[in-house]
Structure 1
Amino acid sequence: MKIEVVHNHQCELGEGPVWDAQEEVIFWVDILQGEIHHYSLQRKQHKTYAVNEMVGCIALCNDGNFILASKSGIGFLNRATGEIEYVENPESHLPENRFNDGKCDAVGRLWVGSMSLLETPNAGSVYVFENNRSTLKIKKTTISNGMAWSADNKIYYFIDTPTATVVAYDFDLNTGSISNKRVVIAIDEKEGYPDGMTIDQEGMLWIAHWGGWQVTRWDPNTGELLYRIKLPAAKITSCTFGGTQLNDLFITSAKADLTDEELKNQPLAGSLFVIKNCGYQGVPAFKFNR
């Protein structure tokens, strides 16, 4: 299995890859540098949008622009001008918090989690944002990360990284309500901590392992580890499927807080990797309904 570097740019904390099928572009963020990265596979062209503060996640909107969640809250970035308009911050009273990972569901609502800048336990929450308003969904999280939905939209999967688990909730697509929380995957400490996550067409979950040098594939119905891909960087942060057939796996990584010795041993840390024709197919990313 050939692991390639998509572009020679290396992020401090690469995260949240999003595939734009229409333009054949992969987007990802550098949380610590406050940047959104854009790479066109057809044109071999790399672009950067400056957010100028910590940006946790982005999603494409149905008008072609971005919705983003950053230190200042939730807003929209105009891709033509680079201008950002913030519209909501449910945690404006919590200046020590920032937003982290997030994704849109099948009707175009943004689900996004917050966390303490100091990673204080239970200081974060998960919100749903629609119609310029956010609603609290999950309380007392620490580092909100991976999210995914089953193909029938009846299950919402979620990772709070320090718990080393994936939990599932019963999900109502019409109302956005969640219930019946249960652990479906438990990850051993020696594997690294679960971070970002995506789902494939067979309903299996792909998890990036922070400190684990790998991406893994799991069956959420049985909790069984099915497959692992070892990578040339320790801090693997997230993954998503892309390419014309959605069978290329894009993987983000980080180099933040690595020692000089560690950087010497993993010179590709912070890169965006791709495994082309990885043998599995993903599902298209949902867009924000603006």
Structure 2
Amino acid sequence: MTAETVFEGRILVNQRMELGEGPGYDPASDQIWWFDILNCQLHLLNASTRDRRIVSLPEMASAMAVVDEHRQIIAMETGLYFHDVSTGALSLHAAIEPDNAVTRSNDARVHQSGAFWVGTMGKNAEKEAGAIYHVLGGTVTKIFDKVTIPNAICFSPEGDTGYYVDTDLNTLMRVPLDPETGLPDGPEEVFIDTSQKPGGMDGAICDGDGHIWNARFGAGVLDQYDPAGRLVARFQLPARQPTCPAFIGRDGGWMMVTTAARDAKLDQEPNAGFTFALVTGAKPRFDPAYKAF
């Protein structure tokens, strides 16, 4: 029987995101980040000092990873861009669908090899307009195509298994990987089928025990699946449209969850678009740095 937990957390930031996404955290700098995709904004928050900054971007962006102490890499509409931490300057690292005006980046995550898996989708969720790419050292390889809304990209702690979902289909896929490269090493298969359940599988992370934590858009919950794919816990959230979780804090004791206000009835959903933090008891695990060269 699935354990359901009433939300016992806090509002991390009560600024409303039209489409909050791509949360992440760097233990070295103690910096939390997330995006408001539709407003082309990168939000930065220091976990210790609570200093906040909003960076306006020239196009829609959805995910970020650390490269080194001086640079980050941001998944944007037209590709991956280096972001200089000191100056804020952006420079193209690897183009992804640069001439396709229909698509933008969506969910993305770094594999233990340093490879960045980056999903694309239609700006209006056009059917099968997107894909998922493997990027390592600037080399871009398409690994899955005809994806409508790529989400839940995450990896087992050993790096030998990858997961992703097309939210339009609501079936979490599992694929064996080469742990050294993060490339598929066999055929994908359906791992968890939630196509008949309310809401849609959105962003996800895999914790240190191999459990998958998935934000269920439209259902207002954060679901915990064990390594066998069983739903073992469900955390209620105070917003109906959660989009993605991430571990935050140097001890990883908190999990943040972004949400979306788009299409929400704000008179009935006053917390729509806010960013939340809660304690789940999961074994924390942070994404590694992207290997640029």
What TM-score do the two structures reach when normalised by structure 2?
0.93
**Do residues 43 (structure 1) and 49 (structure 2) align?**
yes
Q: Indicate which of 267, 277, 288 corresponds to 1:274.
A: 277
Q: Tell me the SS of whatever aligns to 1:99.
A: strand
Matches within 5 A, 1:229-248: 229-248=235-254
1:191 CA displacement: 3.2
Unaligned stretches of 5+ in structure 2? 1-6
Aligned amino acid, residue 113 of structure 2: V
Residue pair 2:30, 2:249 contacting (<8 A) in 1 also:
yes
**Do residues 265 (structure 1) and 268 (structure 2) align?**
yes
Give % identity: 28
- 1:10 aligned residue: 16
Q: Tell me the SS of whatever aligns to 2:28.
A: coil
- 1:136 aligned residue: 142
Which deviations, in whole Å up to 9, do the C-alpha atoms of 1:38-94 show, x marking residues without a partner?
A: 111211111112113211211111234221111122111112111111232231232
Q: CA RMSD in A?
A: 1.5
**Do residues 122 (structure 1) and 125 (structure 2) align?**
no
- 1:218 aligned residue: 225
**Do residues 19 (structure 1) and 25 (structure 2) align?**
yes
Which deviations, in whole Å up to 9, do the C-alpha atoms of 1:162-181 show, x marking residues without a partner?
A: 11111110100224321221
1:189 CA displacement: 4.1
The separation in 2 between residues aligned to 1:234 and 1:227, in whole angstroms, is 17
Residue pair 2:78, 2:96 contacting (<8 A) in 1 also:
no
Q: Tell me the SS of whatever aligns to 2:266.
A: helix
- 2:74 aligned residue: 68
Residue pair 1:24, 1:41 contacting (<8 A) in 2 also:
yes
Q: Indicate which of 182, 189, 193 corresponds to 1:182.
A: 189
Which deviations, in whole Å up to 9, do the C-alpha atoms of 1:120-169 show, x marking residues without a partner?
A: 21111111112222111111111111111111211111111111111110
Residue pair 2:134, 2:183 contacting (<8 A) in 1 also:
no
The separation in 2 between residues aligned to 1:163 and 1:282, in whole angstroms, is 29
Which deviations, in whole Å up to 9, do the C-alpha atoms of 1:79-118 show, x marking residues without a partner?
A: 2111111232231232211111111111211110111112
- 1:201 aligned residue: 208
**Do residues 155 (structure 1) and 161 (structure 2) align?**
yes
Q: Indicate which of 31, 52, 62 corresponds to 2:37.
A: 31
Residue pair 1:33, 1:52 contacting (<8 A) in 2 also:
no
1:220 CA displacement: 3.8
Change (3 A) 1:64 1:9: farther
Residue pair 2:70, 2:86 contacting (<8 A) in 1 also:
no
The separation in 2 between residues aligned to 1:175 and 1:246, in whole angstroms, is 26
Q: Indicate which of 74, 84, 104 corresponds to 1:78.
A: 84
Aligned amino acid, residue 289 of structure 1: K
Q: Indicate which of 284, 287, 290 corresponds to 2:289.
A: 287
1:20 CA displacement: 1.2
- 2:107 aligned residue: 101
- 1:252 aligned residue: 258
Aligned amino acid, residue 124 of structure 1: G
Aligned amino acid, residue 263 of structure 1: L
Change (3 A) 1:85 1:235: same
- 2:117 aligned residue: 111
The separation in 1 between residues aligned to 2:248 and 2:54, in whole angstroms, is 19
Unaligned stretches of 5+ in structure 1? none
The separation in 1 between residues aligned to 2:93 and 2:31, in whole angstroms, is 26
